[in-house]
Amino acid sequence: MKEHVYQLIEILRVLAGLLKELLLLAKELLRVFLSIKDCLSPEQFKALVKAVLAWLEIQVEMAARKKKEKRLYMENVIDHLHISERTYYRKVAAGILKPRSWNGRDYFYESDLEEQLKESRRKGRL
C-alpha cells in the first residue's frame, strides 16, 4: 500500500512539473502570437493559429499513444533485440539507442526500437 502511495505522489510531482512547463510554453506562445499579430492579416493570423492548434492536437495524440505503449527497460530491450548487455551499452553510447529517462531509470517504448528490431531481423538474431 505504501509503495502505491509513493508512486502516486511521484506521479503527481511529475504532473505538477509538466503543468508548470506547459503554462510557461503557453505564455511564450501567447507572447509570440501577440508580437506577430500586427504583421499578419487577420486571415493569415487565423490560419497560423489553426495550424498551431492542429500541430498541438497531433502532439497530444502521439503522447497519448505513447502512454498506452508498454515501457521496456534495459533487461527487456536486451531480450527484445537479442543483444548482449555490452552491445546495449555500446549502442547507447554511440547514440544508436536513445533511451528515455524517468526517475533515473532508462526505458524505451517499442516504437523507439523499430529500427533496431529490423536490424536484428536482418542480422538473423530474430
Average pLDDT score over residue span 1-11: 81
Distance CA(84)–CA(91), nearest Å, equals 11
pTM of the prediction?
0.46
pLDDT band at 126 (very low <50, low <70, confident <90, very high): low
Mean pLDDT of the chain: 86
Query: Which whole-number Å values give the CA distances from 89 to 50, 101, 115, in the listed order?
Result: 43, 15, 17
> How do beta strands 100-102 and 71-73 pair?
unpaired
Q: What is the pLDDT of residue 99?
A: 92
The CA distance from 123 to 126, in Å, is 8
pLDDT score recorded for residue 89: 95
Measured distance CA(27)–CA(41) in Å, rounded: 22
- 66 has a pLDDT exceeding 70: no
pLDDT tens sequence across 85-110: 999 999 999 999 999 888 888 889 88
pLDDT of 73 reads 92
Residue 13's Cβ-side half-sphere holds a number of Cα atoms within 13 Å equal to: 8
Query: CB-based contacts of 10: which residues, under 8 Å, 6+ apart?
Result: 103
Identify residue 60 by its one-letter amino acid code.
V
